[in-house]
A = this chain, B = another copy of it.
Amino acid sequence: MAPIKAVILNGSLKTSDETSNTDALTREITNLFDHEGVKHETIRLADYHLKFGISADLGEGDEWPSIFEKVKEADIVMIGTPVWLGEKSSVTALAIERLYGGASLTNDKGQSVYYNKVGGVVVTGNEDGAKNAARSILYALSHLGFVIPPNVDTYWVGEAGPGPSFIEANGIENDFTRHHVTMQAYNLIHLAKRLKENPIPAEGNFIED
Q: Using known A-B contacts A97-B90, A140-B85, A143-B85, determine if residue A187 contacts B205 with beta carbons closer than 8 Å.
A: yes
* Closest beta carbon of chain B to A103's beta carbon, Å: 9
* Residue pair A131, B129 in contact (C-beta under 8 Å): yes
Q: What 0/1 readout, one digit per residue, does chain A (129-145) give for beta carbons within 8 Å of chain B?
A: 11110111011101111
A56 at the interface (CB under 8 A from B): no
| In the assembled complex, A4 has its CB within 8 A of some CB on chain B | no
A178 to B208, CA, bound (A): 11
A143 & B153 in contact (Cβ 8 Å cutoff) = yes
Q: Is the CB of A205 within 8 A of B134?
A: no
Q: Which of A60-68, A69-77, A155-163 contacts B (4 or more CB under 8 A)?
A: A155-163
Is the pair B54, A46 in contact by a Cβ cutoff of 8 Å?
no
Where chain A touches its partner, the secondary structure class is mixed
Q: How many copies of the chain does the oligomer comprise?
A: 4
CA distance A177 to B160 in the complex (A): 7
Q: Which residues of B contact A149 (CB under 8 A)?
A: 147, 200
- Given the known interface contacts A13-B53, A151-B143, A160-B174, the answer about A132 and B134 at a Cβ–Cβ threshold of 8 Å is no
Closest approach, in angstroms, between the C-beta of A200 and any C-beta of chain B?
5
Q: Complex formed: what's the CA distance from A128 to B93 in Å?
A: 17
A3 touches B (CB below 8 Å):
no
Whether the Cβ atoms of A150 and B115 lie closer than 8 Å is yes
Q: Mark A194-205, 1 if CB is under 8 A from B, else 0.
A: 100010110111
Closest 3 CB pairs of A and B: A161-B176, A186-B204, A86-B131
